[in-house]
């Protein structure tokens, strides 16, 4: 903010995208191995460790209804922020075909728990599933017999999980008359098919057709069928598909057959052709048309032609094992190399472990937890708090994500429990936004010091937006913008290093951190900038937004702690900084508090810096937009003030007198403190008892989590 005009309230929503990723911004979660039995988000095992082994999770129940997809189904694209099914809707339990069809075809989101064997009538019936559905079996009792599911054009955000779908077989092996599939998708997107047992259907077990994309197929048993898994039926090459940890056995063809898929990622699958049976495989994994396939750490047992590719296709193999196989085993092609980790994080299990891992872990699990918000109720009725999930960020590629924003993107929308984004030491020059639909996020540095991990950018009010749509306003200039409740940050630095000297052509308002949420907890952080460093805001004028900052540093010169939130800076250091031209002058706070709300409280802290004596005001009253109904408030108490503070420490702003608003001190010390006067209001002891930290925070007690 310039000293003579009001602040711009623009909140430009800028998100950096990797231009090379035509499929959209990476959004995946992690650890393929740990996906076997799921955690709160289907990412980690019960111990909530990022490298959890699926094999060690065999005793765990599938936390099915709260999980979200990994792989390509987790990518943010086509207007869909990953795949989480019916999580936003009601949970219903069905035992009849009528009820299953009623809820599966409804326009509203639903979690549909199938708790019985449901016979399709007529045989071959495929229920037309609508968007935003989770269809999940209750333990091993959820079975669909004689039919399956159909997902048509545009259907999205669907999870099919923990079911047995079987027995539409009509007695003819290569049946051309009865196109009965377990799951057929024509032009759908963002679908996750996980932990199912699919067998003995009349045609295919899974058909992904007509540009179906952002699909993940994981931890399924596909068996006893002519055609296991067909992909294609299109001349376009646009689909992105992840196929991992599936046990495909005793199927003759399409294992899978992958035609014209832009990015096909197959890993840790087990393809088995048992000797001495009547079923004989004709081929295994097939890269057809213009498919570009990456095939990793999969195990092929007894397969004929285990890996095949067309001359027009591309296939990269690494880490696969072939035991008792015969015939073609191909790779190569002229397509451009691609790395799945540019789209999502995953961890490969050892190839030698794959057969045992999938024999014990693929298919439906025996018990499924119910979604209960932030807790999970087990089959025995015991309620336990959901464990935190940890995502790791490292600029050098040693973490799951290279950028902090990529990890934020991986957090599922409307997540019910804590997600910790652990950021390894380094400088991350990026913009980070935590949107309002991703609460309970913690961003923390993993180094030994808060200086080891820095998130920094250099936008300012007036900086042109990269898309040419204008310039950023003050709020939009933030390096880190937090719109989500229950956010935490610790052990890191958040900075805006906008170069005022070079850019005197635009305003100097350059925000390091902007919050517009409730229950924001910042512990052991450095928030550094010049003008407008820390914007503590609320989602709207009538919304409560509380911020608690402790054991931290806030650095700046002009209005560098400002906004309308109820904010506490406790046991911290506020560092005064000279301006770009070497002069000393500034304002610590600029509250724009709504009437009857608490404003900014600085308590038990230190205000000092390498600046001239008597050059800084403690604050001035910001009536944003000239709003006379506001009642700005700053209280500074039990704090050491250096000689940099003026003897008359409060200032008017925008034609409003600070004396008509709420500014006060209580028992401050140091060369910058002073006695009570009309220019320096002091709280009485009685008044001070109502202006403690707890009075600011109300019913919220911040705690690390």
Q: How many CB atoms lie within 10 A of CB 575?
A: 20
Question: Considering 240, 532, 537, 631, which one is annotated as catalytic?
Answer: 532
Cα 500 to Cα 508: distance, rounded to the nearest angstrom: 6
Q: What are phi and psi of 259, to 5 degrees?
A: -110, 125
Cα 213 to Cα 158: distance, rounded to the nearest angstrom: 12
- Nearest CA to 344 out of 44, 69, 609 is that of 69
Asked if 486 is an active-site residue, the reply is no
Q: What are phi and psi of 65, to 5 degrees?
A: -80, -15
* Omega of the bond leading into 256 within 30 degrees of 0 (cis): yes
Cα 338 to Cα 510: distance, rounded to the nearest angstrom: 38
Q: Look up residue 513 and give its two tokens.
A: 């951190």
The DSSP code for 212 is: -
Distances (CA, A) of 29 to 73, 83, 272, 368: 10, 11, 28, 21
The DSSP code for 563 is: E
Asked if 559 is an active-site residue, the reply is yes
Q: What are phi and psi of 228, to 5 degrees?
A: -85, -60
Q: Which residue bears the tokens 């290093």?
A: 497
Instruction: Please say whether the beta carbons of 685 and 654 come within 8 A.
Output: no
Instruction: Please say whether the beta carbons of 638 and 607 come within 8 A.
Output: no
Q: How many CB atoms lie within 10 A of CB 355?
A: 16
Dihedral of CA atoms 514, 516, 517, 519 in degrees, nearest 10, equals 50
Burial class (CB in 10 A: 0-12, 13-18, 19+), 638: middle
Dihedral of CA atoms 321, 323, 326, 331 in degrees, nearest 10, equals 0
Q: Look up residue 103 and give its two tokens.
A: 């809820």
CA 156-160-166 angle, to 5 degrees, is 130
Question: Considering 537, 559, 570, 631, which one is annotated as catalytic?
Answer: 559
What pairing do the DSSP bridges indicate for beta strands 80-81 and 76-77? antiparallel
Enumerate the active-site residues: 532, 559
């Amino acid at each position: 903010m310039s000293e003579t005009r009001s602040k711009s309230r623009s909140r430009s929503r800028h998100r950096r995208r990797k231009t090379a990723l035509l499929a959209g911004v990476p959004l995946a979660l992690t650890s393929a191995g740990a996906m076997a039995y799921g955690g709160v988000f289907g990412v980690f095992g019960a111990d909530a460790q990022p490298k959890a082994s699926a094999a060690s999770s065999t005793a765990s129940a599938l936390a099915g209804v709260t999980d979200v997809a990994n792989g390509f189904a987790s990518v943010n694209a086509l207007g869909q922020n990953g795949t989480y099914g019916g999580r936003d809707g009601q949970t219903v339990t069905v035992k009849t075909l009528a009820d299953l069809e009623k809820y599966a075809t409804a326009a509203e989101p639903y979690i549909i728990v199938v708790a019985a064997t449901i016979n399709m009538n007529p045989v071959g019936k495929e229920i037309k599933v609508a968007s935003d559905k989770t269809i999940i079996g209750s333990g091993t009792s959820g079975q669909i017999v004689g039919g399956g599911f159909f997902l048509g054009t545009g259907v999205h955000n669907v999870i099919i999980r923990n079911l047995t779908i079987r027995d539409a077989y009509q007695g003819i092996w290569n049946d051309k008359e009865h196109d009965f599939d377990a799951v057929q998708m024509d032009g759908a997107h963002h679908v996750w098919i996980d932990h199912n047992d699919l067998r003995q259907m009349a045609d295919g077990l899974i058909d992904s057709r007509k540009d179906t994309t952002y699909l993940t197929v994981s931890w399924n048993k596909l068996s006893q069928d002519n055609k296991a898994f067909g992909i294609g039926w299109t001349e376009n090459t646009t689909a992105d598909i992840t196929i991992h940890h599936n046990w495909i056995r005793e199927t003759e063809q399409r294992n899978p057959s992958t035609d014209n898929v832009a990015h096909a990622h197959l890993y840790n699958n087990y393809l088995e052709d048992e000797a001495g049976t009547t079923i004989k495989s004709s081929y295994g994994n097939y890269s057809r048309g213009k498919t570009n396939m990456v095939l990793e750490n999969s195990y092929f047992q007894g397969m004929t032609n285990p890996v095949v590719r067309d001359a027009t296709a591309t296939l990269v193999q690494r880490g696969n094992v072939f035991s008792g196989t015969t015939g073609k085993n191909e790779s190569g092609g002229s397509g451009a190399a691609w790395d799945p980790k540019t789209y999502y994080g995953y961890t490969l299990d050892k190839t030698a472990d794959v057969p045992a891992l999938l024999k014990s872990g693929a298919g439906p699990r025996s018990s499924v937890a119910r979604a209960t918000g932030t807790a999970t109720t087990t089959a025995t009725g015991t309620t336990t708090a959901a464990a935190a999930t940890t995502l790791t960020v490292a600029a050098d590629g040693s973490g799951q994500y290279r950028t902090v924003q990529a990890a934020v993107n991986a957090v599922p929308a409307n997540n019910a429990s804590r997600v910790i984004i652990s950021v390894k030491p380094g400088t991350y020059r990026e913009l980070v936004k935590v949107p309002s639909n991703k609460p309970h996020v913690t961003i923390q540095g993993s180094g030994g010091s808060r200086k080891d991990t820095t998130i920094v950018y250099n936008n300012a009010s007036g900086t042109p937006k990269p898309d040419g749509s204008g310039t950023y306003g003050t709020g939009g200039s933030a390096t880190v913008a937090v719109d989500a409740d229950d956010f935490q940050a610790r052990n890191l630095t958040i900075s805006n290093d906008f170069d005022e000297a070079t850019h005197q052509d635009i305003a100097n308002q350059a925000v390091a951190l902007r919050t517009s949420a409730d229950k924001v907890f910042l512990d052991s952080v450095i928030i550094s900038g010049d003008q407008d460093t820390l914007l503590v805001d609320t989602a709207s004028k009538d919304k409560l937004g509380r911020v608690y900052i402790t054991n931290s540093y806030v650095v700046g010169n002009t209005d560098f702690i400002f906004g309308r939130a109820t904010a506490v800076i406790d046991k911290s250091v506020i560092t005064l900084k000279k301006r770009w031209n070497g002069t000393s002058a500034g304002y610590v706070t600029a509250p724009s508090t709504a009437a009857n709300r608490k404003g900014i409280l600085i308590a038990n802290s230190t205000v000092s810096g390498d600046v001239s004596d008597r050059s800084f005001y403690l604050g001035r009253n910001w009536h944003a937009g000239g709003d006379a109904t506001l009642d700005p408030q700053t209280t500074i108490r039990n704090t050491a003030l250096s000689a940099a503070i003026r003897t008359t420490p409060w200032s008017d702003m925008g034609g409003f007198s600070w004396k008509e608003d709420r500014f006060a001190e209580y028992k401050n010390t140091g060369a910058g403190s002073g006695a009570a006067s009309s220019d320096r209001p002091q709280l009485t002891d009685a008044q001070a008892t109502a202006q403690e930290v707890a009075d600011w925070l109300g019913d919220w007690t911040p705690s690390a989590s």
